[in-house]
Every structure is written in structure tokens, then in C-alpha cells.
Structure 1
Amino acid sequence: MSELLLPYPYSRGGLYMRLIGTICITLLSFYLLFNTSIIEFIISYLLAFPLTYLFFTLRSFTRTKRMLGSLSRNGRYILSRRKETGYYRFFLTLLIVTIAPFIMIAIHPVIALGFILGFLCGHGFSELTHYAYVKSVESELGGKLYYFISEQDAEGYFYTGVRVLKYKY
């Protein structure tokens, strides 16, 4: 049975894209924060940024810590076992993307802009923090972490998860 391996949590190119995007959004946010006197924008940004950062950071750290036990014992952690691909994630993403503009109409655009910029900055910094945490954990495990997607087994299931590929000295 062969497996497709992808770097966990993402490749170096993905790191650079997230880093550039987070820096650009943060610079734009700081420019707007320090050059505006609209208190609604400032409050919505200062509320959304730390809450988003804490939520995503705690979620990713707890998931990674849960994986560490299985990774240190077995060298792999199964995330899911499925018979077919799930299209519901695509439809859920499409639903969220189409509902977002209507939410902006329902609330004041300045407040919505603060929430959106705060969310994007918080999520970007959380992703970068998680990447640094995973790289520090890799040295403890003695290898690199990779996502894997396996071929279907005899029962028709395929597995996705994370595995450790040990360093060769």
C-alpha cells in the first residue's frame, strides 16, 4: 500500500505565503488603526484579533498534543478513515463564502471591516505560531512530520493522518 506524503502543517512555500499575507494584513490594519478616530473599528479589531488568535492557537496546540502520544508510540496518527471523499466540506465552504457578504450588510461596514481584519490577523499569527510549535516538536520526535493519504485497503477504506519520518544520521 503506497501513501501520498505532504509536509505537516504545510510546506515552506505555504509558510512564505502565510508570512507575506499576515504581514500585509497586519500593516494595513495598523495603518487603519493609527490613522482613524472611528472607535467602532478600533474596538471591533481589538476584540476580534486576540479572540481569533487564542481560539485557533489553542485548537491547533491541543490537536498537536493529542497527536504526539500516538506519534511517539506508533510513528503515525490516523485523522480519518473513509470509504469515499466528503463533498460536504466544499459545500460548507461555499455556504460560508456566500453568506459573508450578507452578514456585512446586516452590521455596520466599519465594524465588519474591523472584525474581518482582526480575524485575518489573528488567524495568520496563529498559523505561524503553530508552524513554529510543530518544528520544535519535530526535534523532540527525531524526525519530520508529514500528512499522509493512503490507498484503499481491502475493505475499501482509505486513511488520512500524520506520520513521523525519522532522520537518518
Structure 2
Amino acid sequence: MVALLNLTAAALAATTFSILDHNQNLALDLVNSGCTDYTSVQQFGRGPVTAQEWNFNLAGPGLNQFQVTNVGCGTTLTYAGSATGANNIRSPIVNIAGSGTTWFVTPTDANNPNGALRFIESASGLALTAWAVDSVENTAPLTLEPNRIQDVRQNFFLAQPL
């Protein structure tokens, strides 16, 4: 796993990561490796595909604010209503080219910089949230939800891609 303290340096070096769910067995993944705007971002079993590779680009005055972009497509991790200003609670997570969405990436435990991270959308303060896996499809959706410190579904980990 990657320490938050090293994330800023990694962003400056254009290091690529996989973003893993709270169980660390599913990765954020572009559905069908789609590169068109509004392609859904899902949780899916880890694999050696660019649909699961992400770069973190420094985006704000703070050291923990990033724009997250997919390596294969160059699209930005965002939510469906970001372009229109629509209500963002429970919005599905998608990728859109040129989106201005940024995320505060913060540790869940300040005493453990190698532990889980939270992705808080900077404009709304809502948290990236992972839902349970659909046993038939073996995928799981991601949405923006109210930021709840004790909600483990809002915990994510960074790892080197496969």
C-alpha cells in the first residue's frame, strides 16, 4: 500500500496506482474499458488493464487535493451530475474528459499513513462510497454519499497496478 505522505511526491512523478476497495480485492475500473464521457466506474476484480490504472495530479493549494485521471483514457474520475450541477448525493461515479472535479484524499487514521484513505469530492464534501458486489455480475457500483467517518465502504487503498 502507498503512504499518503508519499502521494504528493508520487503525483509529481506521474506514478500510476490501482485504487482498491475496503476489502482490497476489487479495483476501480472503467466498465468495458470505455473511454467515452460518462463511462461508469465500477469495482471489479483486479487485472493488468489500463482501465484500472489511475494518476493523481496535484490540483489545489493543499497537499492532499488531487484530480484523479485514468491512464488509458485520460478522463477524470467524477460523478454524473458534475457537468450540469445536478444534485450529487447518490450520483454514480463516471469518467468525463476535461472535468474539473478534484478530490481530497485523506487518511482514515492520522496515526497510520499506510492505512486506508478516503476520497472526498472537493466541491460537495461527499465521499466516494463502494457498494456490495453483485454476485451475478461480480461488479459493484460506486456513488457519492454523505461523509461518514465510521463507514468502511468509504475506505480505499492505493497499490501498484498488476
Fold shared, TM-score > 0.5 on shorter chain: no
Larger-gyration structure (1/2): 1
Q: TM-score, normalised by structure 2?
A: 0.23
Higher-strand-fraction structure: 2
Ranked by relative contact order (alpha carbons within 8 Å, sequence separation 6 or more), the top structure is 1
TM-score normalised according to structure 1 size: 0.22
Q: Where is the helix percentage greater, Structure 1 or Structure 2?
A: 1
